[in-house]
Amino acid sequence: MTTTPPTLEYGPDDAATPDDESTDLLAVENLQVQFGTYDGPVRAVDGVSFSVEPGETVGIVGESGCGKSVTARSIVGLQEPGEVVGGTVHIDGVNVHEASDRTRRRLRGDTVSMVFQDPDQTLNPAFDVGEQIAESLKVHDQPERQRLLDYLHAPLFASRSDWRDHRKRAVELMAQVGIDDPADRVDDYPHEFSGGMRQRAGLAIALASDPDLLIADEPTTALDTTTQAQLLDRFRRLTDERNMATLLITHDLGVVADICDRVVVLYAGQVMETGPTDRVLAEPHHPYTRALLECRTSRAARKQRVPTIEGAVPDRLGEQPGCPFAPRCPAAVDTCQEGKPPTFERDDGTVRCREGVVFGESDDDGGPVLEYGCGETQCAREDSSTTSDTATATARSASPPPRPDDDTDPLVSLEGVSKRYQQAGGLLRRLLGTDRCLQAVDDVTLEIAAGETLGLVGESGSGKSTLADLVTGLETPTSGAVRFDGDPVGAAGTRTAATLHDVGVVFQNPRSSLNPRLPVAQVIAEPLYADGWEDQRRRDRVGELLESVGLSERHTERYPHELSGGQLQRVAIARAIALEPRLVVLDEPVSALDVSVQARVLNLLLELQRELELTYLLISHDLDVVEHVSDRVVVLSNGEVVEAGQTERVLAEPSHPETAALVEAVPRLEHSSQ
């Protein structure tokens, strides 16, 4: 870290802190943050303590809504919309929340920097990238002299020369974070950058102040896997070079495994377990940590149920006794329900659970899984929404799925299908012929056999979704033919009711795929109505469907905005199978969902396939998901099929570099644990 500024500069309000903390660059002590809501304050962060030493990389993991981000933001003093109600955060010995704005600015200016999650949000669209990095540099150089007019570049008031060489240094930084020919890109505006580039620029801004501590809040979540890999790599290097401490917030254990020295597992605003990454991932002490690890499809056998954590992260409304995880915990006993669970210091970290779990069975590996078997049914009682899948699951998990025998003719076949898009534009431009085309799908030929699951993978923009739209008939191919049972079909508008019934669709984002103005029952009934079913019959069918996707009657009159993401996706699935289609197109069905919820929805899909002998076309960027559920895989790149074949084969020994890259990019626990 850079020279510690004399305490004087921090002003009187920042009492110099005891020596024992001085080794820690960041020390979070019993931090408590609350959100005000209609039903009173929600304890988003509920007594979190951990520390980061100079140079080390610490990961914070947990499902969304666990208070990861809030914790991170509170550290740099960005509390909106929450409010710190207790505990302390010391950075470099300075108490952040008692410090004056001036001091806090100074801290941000040269001690701690932050990288944010959403690449569309990190950069100000109104200023070119160079400017935004230069600003950061300028603040770092003169934290005290910030004159508005100067920063507005008001003529006469702005010190042009300053800005000029700040800009020069910005170019260097951009080079360091891996932006190609930065000299040209420095004048670009954020919208001219790709997501990955923006995150890089964000990183550059963060590094500009040459911080001792870098806080990264899900920096790669929004990027597709290959870009993610590159960026993470860049992270690792830069932090090593500068011996910079890093606090990495993520929900992806893979990422943690990749780059973190230590990990802090957060649940419902509380620290469940801390420890060295390798140990925690290898032999987690805390049931929650285990559960998290178990949920990962990559761990489960293909086509088999994935163990799940039932229920959802609770809202921490008001005082609730006991361990927050208890309701979902397989290892829970009555005592978990009352009193705060103790936190045990182990040689390499801490665990917050009842003694038995921490020092008991945890060592034998078979234990946990078995626990889940029964744990499951326990939880099932609490959440009716899962009765069906758990029940059926245990019943069916044995029987392997029907493998398509190759001589049966395919359900769907695409023959040299291409799709070109006209760029948006008015008539006149069309007349002038000045419009330009975008080759979305290029001469694709493939078949989907009845009963199989075809996985469609590829980076974003590779044409996955367009291909799906072509199959469903939302788009018509510019050339080539789409055949259903051998007969060519056109756009949805031109298809027969029968053909339309044969295809069901589940979209990526359940919120946008369900009409917010219709209650659940009507949403599901819509296709039935369109098919002319009369009232009573509709109602019965809706009942069945709700049941089979594991939603209870009480949901029928709810409006979409009153349901959780997982429940919504179930509704969407129910609608998709309402008319007993043969093919269901699943467009990123789980990518909008949380890990644990993801697992549950995948389980549901697998069961439905068995029960209804459905054929799936699964589009996903998540190889783990694809690997888990699909029989065959097709890899798309720039609208072309670059590789196709049996899932195991393709993912195990990819023949095409594109595929290899995809596979390579996926962060896996195994890397580190091996």
Partner 1 sequence: MSVALESIASAVGRRYRALRTSRTLATFCANPLNVAGLSIVTAITIAAVIGPLVAPYDPTTQDLANRLQGPSLAHPFGTDQLGRDLLSRLLYGARLSLGIAVAVTTIRLVLGTTIGLLAGYTGGWVDEALMRLVDIQLAFPGLVLALVIAGILGPSLRNVMLALAVVGWASYARLVRGTVLATKERDFVRAARLMNVSRFRIATRHLLPNVAGPVVVLATLNMGTVILGTAGLSFIGLGAQPPTPEWGTMLADGRHHLRTAWWIANVPGVAIMCTVLGFTLLGDGLRDVLDPNHETTLEKRT
Partner 2 sequence: MDTAPYLVHRFGTSLVVLAGVSVVTYGLLFLTPGDPAEVILSQQLDRQPSEAEIEAFRAEHGMDEPVPLQYADWLTDVLRGDLGTSYYSDASISALILDALPLTLELAAASVVVALALAIPTGVLSAVHRGTAIDRASQLGALVGVSMPNFWLGYLLILVFALTLGVFPVAGAGSYSQLVLPAVTLGTGMAAVLTRLVRSSMLDVLDEGYLDTARSKGLRERIVVYKHALRNALVPVVTILGVQLGALLNGAVVIEIVFQRPGLGMLLVDAVFERNYPVVQGITLFTAVAFVVTNLLVDLSYRYLDPRVELGGDPT
- Please give the residue ranges that form the binding site for partner 1 (CB under 8 A): 35, 37-39, 42, 315, 426-427, 472-474, 492-493, 495, 497, 500-501, 503, 505, 507-509, 511-519, 523, 526-527, 529-531, 559, 561-562, 564, 575, 579
The position carrying tokens 């932050």 is 114
Nearest approach, Cβ of residue 151 and partner 2 (Å): 5
Residue 189 vs 533, nearer CB to partner 2: 189
d(CA 156, CA 435) in angstroms, rounded, equals: 45
Please list, in sequence order, all residues whose beta carbon lies within 8 angstroms of the beta carbon of residue 425, skipping any fewer than 6 positions away: 434, 435
Nearest approach, Cβ of residue 360 and partner 1 (Å): 37
The interface partner of residue 398, options being partner 1, partner 2, none and the CB cut-off 5 to 8 Å by kind, is: none
Whether the CB-CB separation of 629 and 303 falls below 8 Å is answered with yes
Nearest approach, Cβ of residue 152 and partner 2 (Å): 6
The interface partner of residue 148, options being partner 1, partner 2, none and the CB cut-off 5 to 8 Å by kind, is: partner 2
Nearest approach, Cβ of residue 125 and partner 1 (Å): 19
The position carrying tokens 């000045």 is 434
Whether the CB-CB separation of 607 and 396 falls below 8 Å is answered with yes
Q: Binding residues for partner 2, per CB under 8 A?
A: 73, 76, 78, 101, 105-110, 113-114, 116-118, 121-128, 132, 135-136, 139-140, 143, 146, 148, 151-152, 189-191, 202, 205-206, 208-209, 423-426, 428-429, 432, 434-436
Which bin fits 164, alpha (ψ -120 to 50), beta or left (φ > 0)? alpha
Please list, in sequence order, all residues whose beta carbon lies within 8 angstroms of the beta carbon of residue 550, skipping any fewer than 6 positions away: 385, 386, 387, 388, 389, 570, 604
Residue 188 vs 261, nearer CB to partner 2: 188
The interface partner of residue 527, options being partner 1, partner 2, none and the CB cut-off 5 to 8 Å by kind, is: partner 1
The interface partner of residue 202, options being partner 1, partner 2, none and the CB cut-off 5 to 8 Å by kind, is: partner 2
Token code pair at residue 587: 């467009």
The interface partner of residue 389, options being partner 2, partner 1, none and the CB cut-off 5 to 8 Å by kind, is: none
Residue 488 vs 516, nearer CB to partner 1: 516
Residue 143 vs 565, nearer CB to partner 2: 143
| Sheet containing 632-637, strands listed edge to edge, beginning at the edge strand earlier in sequence | 503-506, 583-587, 615-619, 453-457, 632-637, 640-646
Q: What are phi and psi of 247, to 5 degrees?
A: -115, 110
The interface partner of residue 472, options being partner 1, partner 2, none and the CB cut-off 5 to 8 Å by kind, is: partner 1
The interface partner of residue 261, options being partner 2, partner 1, none and the CB cut-off 5 to 8 Å by kind, is: none
Token code pair at residue 474: 């939302």
Dihedral of alpha carbons 45, 281, 26, 229, sign: negative
Whether the CB-CB separation of 35 and 69 falls below 8 Å is answered with no
Residue 367 vs 519, nearer CB to partner 1: 519
The interface partner of residue 526, options being partner 2, partner 1, none and the CB cut-off 5 to 8 Å by kind, is: partner 1
Nearest approach, Cβ of residue 611 and partner 1 (Å): 21
Nearest approach, Cβ of residue 269 and partner 1 (Å): 15
Token code pair at residue 83: 């409010």
- Bridge partners of 215, per DSSP, are 114, 247
Residue 234 vs 511, nearer CB to partner 1: 511
The interface partner of residue 136, options being partner 1, partner 2, none and the CB cut-off 5 to 8 Å by kind, is: partner 2
Residue 126 vs 301, nearer CB to partner 2: 126
Nearest approach, Cβ of residue 432 and partner 2 (Å): 6
Residue 434 vs 496, nearer CB to partner 2: 434
The interface partner of residue 500, options being partner 1, partner 2, none and the CB cut-off 5 to 8 Å by kind, is: partner 1
- Collapsing DSSP states into helix, strand and coil, what is residue 484? strand
- In sequence order, which ranges of 360-461 are alpha helices (DSSP H)? 366-382, 387-396, 427-432
Residue 38 vs 399, nearer CB to partner 1: 38
Q: 3-state SS string over 542-587?
A: HHHHHHHCCCCHHHCCCCHHHCCHHHHHHHHHHHHCCCCCCEEEEE
Nearest approach, Cβ of residue 521 and partner 1 (Å): 13
d(CA 87, CA 286) in angstroms, rounded, equals: 24
Nearest approach, Cβ of residue 604 and partner 1 (Å): 18
Nearest approach, Cβ of residue 426 and partner 1 (Å): 7
Residue 182 vs 473, nearer CB to partner 1: 473
d(CA 213, CA 91) in angstroms, rounded, equals: 9
Residue 120 vs 361, nearer CB to partner 2: 120
The interface partner of residue 140, options being partner 2, partner 1, none and the CB cut-off 5 to 8 Å by kind, is: partner 2
d(CA 655, CA 647) in angstroms, rounded, equals: 13
Q: Which helix (H) or strand (E) holds 248?
A: strand 245-250
